[in-house]
Amino acid sequence: MTEMVYGTVSVQEGEPVLPKWWRTVDRWALSCIFLLFGIGILLGLAASPPLAERNGFAHFHYVQRQAVFGGLALTAMMLTSMLTPLLVRRLAVIGFLVAFISLLGLPFLGTDFGKGAVRWYSLGFASVQPSEFLKPLFVIVAAWMMAASQEIGGPPGKLWSFGLTVTIVLALAMQPDFGQASLVLFGWGVMWFIAGAPMLLLVALAGLVVMGGMVAYNSSEHFARRIDGFLTPEVDPTTQLGYATNAIQEGGFFGVGVGEGTVKWSLPDAHTDFIIAVAAEEYGLILVLLIIALYTVVVVRSVLRLMRERDPFIRLAGTGLAAMFGVQAMINMGVAVRLLPAKGMTLPFVSYGGSSLIAGGIAVGMLLAFTRTRPQGEIGEILRGRPR
């Protein structure tokens, strides 16, 4: 009767974990993630065999590895989504410390795999990119600090989170990895805005970002080369952007046909950063729009659920995770169609990559944990003067 009056979900004492999880989790968002991973496997079957052939591996070597990493990612997502927000926060703080120390150790123990940026630890059988795990864990820590600052007599959490953000952004820029640095800065900016930052400070922050970009352009050849390539009116057809642009144009509305695409034979990153080009060429605009719709459903449904939350930590952390998830997808696809400079960023759950997949599974798992329906957990009850 209580849930009928107050519009909440009742708590059943002793209810098993799985039925309770299934009843409270956002099943639409969960289904979209599984569909995205399925599309990733489908595109991997088309995009990765040429690379496997060039590297002397079995035809579906990378697809098999993606299936293994994806299985681990989806398992991590499911398990994480079953946790309480308090347990998510505690585990995230510990994980953040490990990831942060790993990030600082990259200049001494990391490798660049010939790509010009020291971002990975080589384990022999695989590699680990600390920044992929750091991003979602940083969101939790920063949200915790900001939420604590809203309490009476609380610490200066917003200032602490700003200092932490600057430290991480500088560490990422030194690799250099400006793409991940921009994601961290964006995620923090969204949470800071939600936490009630004055517009004057947001404008000042935007000015600092522009100044930082100018400094990076003048001091980093890697950064300047990507910006110059983006601003040039003509695209070199022998570059990755050139191949991707041509593939998207060739695909049209319905695509050239399954397995009939040619861009995968030219693009070295066809299975990772430019996998959307393979989708556009072989399956056309139809599949691209479906992929965009799936990301949109996850982000929009998560934000709508978070708008009803009472707990400021859950609202801030969930919004930061949703924003970072959606913007990463937008950046990846924006680079492929030359709306944004090249960033070297994967498409969540679709691109190949162990660190990206597993870290993405953890991030979405935390988002699903925060957006689960909780008894009397909606802010609307306070606004309407209803009892807690």
- What pLDDT does 387 receive? 44
Q: Is 370 within a domain?
A: yes
Output DSSP code: residue 309.
B
8 A C-beta contact, residue 255 and residue 248: no
**pLDDT of the chain, 388 residues: tens digit per residue:** 334 333 444 445 567 888 899 999 999 999 999 999 999 999 998 888 888 888 888 888 899 999 999 999 999 999 999 999 999 999 999 999 999 999 999 988 888 877 777 888 988 777 899 999 999 999 999 999 999 998 888 899 999 999 999 999 999 988 888 889 989 999 999 999 998 877 777 788 778 778 877 877 777 776 777 777 666 766 666 677 777 888 888 888 888 887 778 788 777 777 888 889 899 999 999 999 999 999 999 999 999 999 988 899 999 999 999 999 999 999 999 888 888 877 778 899 999 888 999 999 999 999 999 999 877 545 555 455 544 4
- What pLDDT does 247 receive? 82
- Total structural domains within the chain: 1
Sign of the dihedral defined by the CA atoms of residues 142, 144, 147, 148, in that order? negative
8 A C-beta contact, residue 363 and residue 320: no
8 A C-beta contact, residue 319 and residue 291: no
- What pLDDT does 238 receive? 62
Q: Is 6 within a domain?
A: no
Q: Is 96 within a domain?
A: yes
- What pLDDT does 315 receive? 95
Q: Is 7 within a domain?
A: no
What DSSP line would sit under 58-78, residue for residue? -TTHHHHHHHHHHHHHHHHHH
Q: How many CA atoms lie within 13 A of 135 on its CB side?
A: 32
Amino acid in the structure at residue 326: G
Q: Is 131 within a domain?
A: yes
Q: Is 258 within a domain?
A: yes
Q: Which of 267, 272, 371 is nearest to 315 (CA)?
A: 371
Domain span including residue 291: 18-374
- Give pLDDT tens digits for 261-278: 878 877 777 788 888 989
Q: Is 48 within a domain?
A: yes
Q: Is 380 within a domain?
A: no
